[in-house]
Amino acid sequence: MSEVVILTEAAALQIKDMMKEHDEADAMLRVSVKGGGCSGLSYGMGFEHEVQEGDEVLEQFELKLVVSKEDAPILNGTKIDYKQSMMGGGFTIDNPNAIASCGCGSSFVTATNKGTPENC
């Protein structure tokens, strides 16, 4: 069985650095989906200290990730990477379930979930 969310080593290292920088070294990373964005659904990432009922906990590169069971089917197989360029760095998200996305790369729609599109 594949992981719901797959972190690259570069993404994990960047997240760990951010956790240290913000005194969140003991936190977990919550990856979520919410309605909104140009296409209808948007990704969310943030620090979490408690596992909620219905959460799935994953561990990759000694980093704990939390995904709600509601979001798991939408995120299944999603790869999160971190890329550095001369213009700066940023996270990239590759979701095999997304059938359309907008130019910003953080808003998408799946075949079974259209979300709630908003104006950009």
Structure tokens at 69: 């069971």
pLDDT surpassing 60 at residue 120: no
Categorize the per-residue pLDDT at 102 as very low, low, confident or very high, splitting at 50, 70 and 90: low
Rounded distance between C-alpha atoms, residue 62 and residue 8, angstroms? 12
Vertex 6 angle, CA 2 and 9, to 5°: 135
Expressed as residue numbers, the domain containing 85 is: 5-94
- Domain assignment present for residue 69? The answer is yes
Tell me whether residue 117 is in a domain: no
The number of domains in the chain is: 1
User: Looking at the domain assignment, is residue 113 inside a domain?
Assistant: no
CA atoms within 13 A on the CB side of 106: 14
Tokens 């079974």 correspond to what residue? 112
Domain assignment of residue 9, yes or no: yes
Whole-model pTM above 0.75? yes
Query: Where residue 82 sits, what CATH number does that domain have?
Result: 2.60.300.12
Work out the percent of the chain whose per-residue pLDDT is above 90. Answer: 60
Whether residue 33 is contained in a domain is answered as yes
